[in-house]
Amino acid sequence: MLQKQSQETVPDAVVPVGVAKPVASSTLMTYEYFYTAGCSLLFPSHGRVRRKFWLMKKFGLDSTDIRILSAVQQHGQLSKTKLAEIANISATPVWARLDRLKAAGFIRGYHADIALDQIADFTQVVVTISLTHHRKADFDRFETFIRGLDEITDCVSTGGGMDYVMEVITSDLVSFQALMETLLAADLGIDRYMIYIATRRIKSSKPNLAKLAAKRRG
């Protein structure tokens, strides 16, 4: 359970929810959702869950703010008129609210939905990894290394049997195998890993901000 924070101090500690392993092992909570045709919202990386809730409370998000964030998450950049229509307020205040949300860091950017399968052949693999040791230095070394690999498109730190779950996209299985050999040769302290070849994507969607915010307010 998250501990209540004062409004005067922004907590720096990494305290992920429901993670059983030591805090030091959860330095990579990369929930930086680069949403298709939308924007990435304030789900901070590095497990700064406390700071997210502190910022929401300090900022004072209301239902109109949530509608604005939901609109840009779903549609990306919108005209002032269209955004005002969706948010159900007039154009001038909706633009002022959007600027305020951007300045506060709730909107990190806008990203296009690229049809990768129409551009190139590729292989998508989900990889779970467990490290031999669970010291902060071990996690830092691993996370620093994988951040420099373009083929690893997503990585989350997890509690339970494995330490990381990664999504890897390469041109083919030969390239994927070469990537895994690079990881193993880099002395990153990998104890074991498992691979799952993706055959088709069943669902890729964005969280319902209104529902999440309602739970928070409740």
What letter does residue 23 receive in the DSSP assignment? G
Q: What is the pLDDT, as a whole number, of residue 213?
A: 84
Q: What is the pLDDT, as a whole number, of residue 91?
A: 95
pTM for this predicted structure: 0.67
Determine which of 41-50, 78-87, 147-156 has the lowest per-residue pLDDT on average: 41-50
Q: Is 54 helix (H, G, I), strand (E, B) or coil?
A: helix
Q: What is the pLDDT, as a whole number, of residue 23?
A: 34
- Taking the C-alpha atoms of residue 197 and residue 173, their distance in angstroms, rounded to an integer, is 9
What are the structural domains of the chain?
Answer: 31-113 (1.10.10.10), 116-197 (3.30.70.920)
Select from 139, 136, 113, 129 the least CA-distant residue to 179: 129
| H or E stretch at 193 | strand 190-197
| H or E stretch at 103 | helix 91-103
157-206: pLDDT as tens digits: 998 889 999 999 999 999 999 999 999 999 999 999 999 999 998 998 88
- Taking the C-alpha atoms of residue 176 and residue 183, their distance in angstroms, rounded to an integer, is 11
Residue 94's contacts (CB-CB under 8 Å, 6 or more residues apart) are: 68, 80, 83, 84, 87
Of all residues in the chain, what percent carry a pLDDT higher than 70? 71
Q: What is the pLDDT, as a whole number, of residue 58?
A: 54
- Cα dihedral angle (66, 210, 166, 76), rounded to 10 degrees? -50
Select from 127, 129, 128, 116 the least CA-distant residue to 171: 116
* pLDDT over threshold 90, residue 214: no
Q: Quick one: average pLDDT of 8-17?
A: 33
Select from 55, 47, 70 the least CA-distant residue to 157: 47
- Taking the C-alpha atoms of residue 38 and residue 117, their distance in angstroms, rounded to an integer, is 19
